[in-house]
Structure 1
Amino acid sequence: MSRLNRWRRTGLWALAVVVGIAALAAIAIATTPPGAAMDPDDVGPGGGAALVAVLEQNGVDVETATSIGDVRDALADRDDDTSLVVANTSNLGTGAASTLRQESLGLDRLVVLSPSTEQLRALRADATALPIGAAVRVESRCDIGTVDEGDSLVGIDVRYQPGSGVPSSAVCFPLTLDGSEGEDDHGVGLVQLPSTSAHPPMTVVGTTTGFTNGAITEEHNAAIALRLLGGSPRLVWYQPDVADLAGSDDADEGGSLLPGWLAPTLGLLGAALVVLALVRGRRLGGLVREPLPVVVRAVETTESRGRLYRRAQDRPRAAAVLRLATLDRLRGRLGLRRGDSVETVARAIAAASGRPVSGVLDLVAGPPPRDDAALVRLAQDLSDLEEKAHRP
């Protein structure tokens, strides 16, 4: 018994540890920011260090900003011509995008890689984003300065549907199907928007992976990236941090980035651990086996039960107990199953004892006795039946 209690106690503690680990894992998954693709300091396949190095070799001063506050500080003084690129829009919230639009007025160019429709609306860009679901290779079919006729770009994973106010000469890399009537029936991979009072000259490109270290050397990816980002002597490389995911631009002034259910969940988990500790701490230890002071023989229990039946004058119940016990013993003796019906057992008893089936049925399933004498005769008849019924 003590060993069982020890195993049970160990199992409860193990369960508590597993629940705690699962809760922490869920919290970590819910609060982990997306992957840092196009990180200017990352030399891995998904980073953007190769493109930054080539830009600096061509005389471009690349300055990294990891928050909308850094962008605001970098654009506060614009003595030189400046361009800005949002290299990874995974962490760009709509509030940060709206602030970015306001702060970037007057820039030479604003380049945004793979923005969503909500981000485009915050940037006042007249286009709609339509994810493709796979990175594809598309030819330019345009000549707009930053992209030449015949250029091909590998890695386009978002297509854009320009608004009615965007001229056809400002789109490149159309996604078409055989037999389609227009070149932009299925969206385009690049939209170049002129400056307005709401935003600077803006280029929206439907790729992030195409300019990473692992894909920059494919097709004309490197040439297109250099033309887009190297047109100004100064480039602000905006790599949004998780803090910029907040919906408003003052998230760093008190806004919470944690989900609302986090605090109640942690409180509930802490309360459960405290209750478990209190419950386990109040235990006095495992049960100790002790010998019984008195040994009660089985026959005494049977006799006591019989006296209770006699005192209650419950002859039907006593008769039913006698008949069920006889049937159970004869089933085992005659090789019958416990689920066999009374009629099946009665036929087997009749065949083994030589008695008629009707007489056996009347004995094992007949009406209850009316008085004590009839109950005694029933008990004697059942005992006699067991003696005469032998397994064939």
Structure 2
Amino acid sequence: MAAWIAIGVVLLVVGGIGGAISAANQWAAREVLDPASAGPQGMRALAEILRSHGVEVEVTRSRADALAALDGAPATLVLPDAPALSDDAVSQLAAAAKDVVLIEPRSRTLDLLLPGSVASGYAGRDAVAPACELAEADRAGAVAPGALYTPGSGTTACYPVDDGFGLLVHDDDGRRTAAVDGGVLFTNERLAEDGNAALAANLMGRHPLVVWYVPNAADSDLTDTDPSLGELTPPWVSPAIVLLLVAGVAAGIWRGRRFGPLVAERLPVTVRASETTEGRARLYARVRDPLHAADRLRIGALRRLSELLGLGPQTDAGEVADAAAGRTGWDRTAVRGILLDDIPRSDADLVALSTRLRDLEEAVHAAVRPERSTP
């Protein structure tokens, strides 16, 4: 009874530890790029900097709240990647804002809001100068940009590294859309490096209100977009499968055969060992293969000699021959000839080899167990 109680306690402890780890992982995932999080991957420090400069920061966690907050004075929309939203929903959010700052731009968002722009790799940890005619970047100075992008037509690009750029800004009739890797530049643990804080404040603080949208799966406007197997395959596949099934059934009916009655058989059949040995001997004699027969005789002799000499089953045949020669005092070359080297060419040679193998085994037996040897 005590053992079952101990097992139950152990299971409860392990389950509690697993639940705590799972909850911690989920909490860590919620902290990433969250303006209310003070963790390393959160962005609370940036939100407080904006508030200290007189910019109102309103955090919204649903698309409806974000649209309501943007309906009024000119505002900047801070938009992370929102995979739960459709293209129309993302475009609707961006159209309601005066400025849009993409802090985690993916290929889809870039294509929607910065036409022609694409992701193009990742920069190293070295800071680079803006090298562009954008006042916000010039005032911020050098940063280590993280993700790189290739600009589309009419887009200003800053912080060049190789063939990519760390910041894209597109102005369209007074509306501005910027794309930057906020996960590298604007998180709590990296905000104080280089000109990161200045760049963030310059991009997001152009208007008195910042609407920070934090996406979540429950806010999705996507319908069931998982295609069925029939939708993924060409139209002719389903009829072809049906036709193949019908053809298989027809072939089974055409070529199928009924089994006859079961045949009674007495099992098992016992065969004496002497009959098996004689049968193999006749086969070896019929095919005139004395070498193969000699190999079978030698394999049996080597196994028995290895047991007599106390050697392991994996011992090499040459080592068995040397041990047998040393134990009996026979010539080492002669023993190796009996067990390995001599090749019988005829039945007479095979009989002679068999006799020498028997003599060698008897000599080893007499040397190892003299009290049990027979004359």
In the other structure, the counterpart of 1:191 is 168
1:79 aligns with 2:61: no
2:94 aligned with 1:104, yes or no?
yes
1:194-213 equivalent positions in 2, closer than 5 A: 194-195=171-172, 200-213=175-188
Q: How many aligned residue pairs are there?
A: 281
Write the distance in 1 (CA, Å) between the matches of 2:213 and 2:121: 22
Q: Could you say which residue in structure 2 is the equivalent of 1:140?
A: 130
Contact kept in structure 1, 2:130 and 2:159, CA below 8 Å: yes
Distance verdict in 2 for CA 1:350–1:69, change over 3 Å: same
Q: More helix per residue: 1 or 2?
A: 2
In 2: Cα distance, 1:36 partner to 1:44 partner: 7
Question: Structure 1: which amino acid aligns with 2:43?
Answer: G
In structure 1, the partner of 2:269 is none
Which digits, 9 at most, give the CA deviation of each residue in 1:166-218, with x for residues without a partner?
A: 3xxx44x3326xxxxxxxx733332221225xx94212224432222222233
- Aligned equivalent of 1:233: 208
Specify the SS of the correspondent of 1:250: coil
Shift of 1:342: 12
Distance 1:332 1:215 in 2: 74
What is the rounded CA distance, in whole Å, between the counterparts of 1:352 and 1:201 in structure 2? 102
Aligned residue for 1:111, secondary structure, equals: strand
One-letter amino acid of the counterpart of residue 210, structure 2: L
TM-score normalized by the length of structure 2 = 0.54
Q: Aligned to 1:138, what secondary structure does the other structure show?
A: coil
Structure 1 length normalisation: TM-score? 0.53
How far apart are the structure 1 equivalents of 2:150 and 2:355?
98
CA offset digits 1:30-85 (Å, max 9, x no partner):
x999674321111122211111122223333322223445434444xx23222211
Instruction: Indicate how the Cα distance of structure 1 residues 309 and 203 shifts in structure 2: closer, same or farther if over 3 A, else same.
Output: closer
2-structure distance, mates of 1:63, 1:366: 101
Equivalent residue number for residue 37 of structure 1: 32
Offset of 1:348 from its aligned partner? 9.4
- For 1:52, the equivalent position in structure 2 comes to 47
Q: How does 1:259-298 map to 2 (within 5 A)?
A: none
Rounded to whole Å, the distance in 2 between the matches of 1:219 and 1:387 is 92
Asked if 1 retains the 8 angstrom alpha-carbon contact of 2:117 and 2:151, the reply is yes
Question: What SS does the aligned partner of 2:202 have?
Answer: helix
Deviations 1:212-262 (A, max 9, x none): 222223333323322322222221102223567xxxx732x4457xxxxxx
- Aligned twin of 2:117: 127
From the superposition, tell whether residues 125 and 208 of structure 1 become closer, same or farther in structure 2 (CA, over 3 Å).
farther
Structure 1 distance, partners of 2:135, 2:320, is 98
Are the equivalent residues in 1 in contact too, given 2:62–2:213 (CA < 8 A)?
yes
Distance 1:153 1:115 in 2: 21
Q: Relative CO higher for 1 or 2, CA cutoff 8 Å, sep ≥ 6? A: 1
Paired residue type of 1:208:
G
Q: Which runs of 5+ in 1 are unaligned?
A: 1-27, 177-184, 257-303, 370-374
Partner of 2:60: 65
Deviation, structure 1 residue 152: 1.5
- Tell me how far apart the structure 2 counterparts of residues 382 and 220 of structure 1 sit (CA, whole Å): 92
SS at match of 1:218: coil
Q: Provide the secondary structure at the position in 2 that maps to 1:194.
A: strand
In the TM superposition, what whole-angstrom CA distance separates every residue of 1:345-383 from its partner, at most 9, and x where no partner exists? 999999849xx99xx89xx979779xxxxx9xx999987
Whether the 8 Å CA contact 2:105–2:181 is kept in 1: the answer is yes
Q: 1:175 aligns with which of 160, 163, 169?
A: 160
Report the 3-state secondary structure (helix = DSSP H, G, I; strand = E; otherwise coil) of the residue aligned with 1:41. coil
Q: Give, as a single letter, the amino acid of the residue that structure 2 aligns with 1:165.
A: G
**CA–CA distance in structure 2, aligned partners of residues 309 and 143 of structure 1:** 98
* In structure 2, C-alpha distance between the alignment counterparts of 1:34 and 1:129, rounded to whole Å: 24
Give the partner amino acid of 2:74: D
Shift of the 40–94 alpha-carbon distance from structure 1 to 2, 3 Å rule, reads closer
Look up the equivalent residue of 2:109 and give its one-letter code: Q
**Would you say the 8 A contact 2:66–2:213 is kept in 1?**
yes
- The residue that corresponds to 1:22 in the other structure is none
Deviates more, 1:340-349 or 1:202-211: 340-349
The farther-off stretch of 319-328 and 216-225 is 319-328
Mark the CA change 1:118 to 1:232 in structure 2 (over 3 Å): closer, same or farther.
Answer: same
* Aligned partner letter, 1:195: D
The root-mean-square deviation of aligned C-alpha atoms, in Å, is 5.3
Alpha-carbon distance in 2 for matches of 1:333, 1:326: 10
Secondary structure of 2:128's aligned partner: strand
Separation in structure 2 between the aligned mates of residue 54 and residue 345 of structure 1, nearest angstrom? 88
Alignment partner of 1:156: what SS? Answer: coil
1:311/1:382 CA distance change after superposition, 3 Å: closer
In the superposition, relative to structure 1, how do residues 131 and 323 fare at CA in structure 2: closer, same or farther (>3 Å)?
closer
Q: CA deviation at 1:157?
A: 0.8
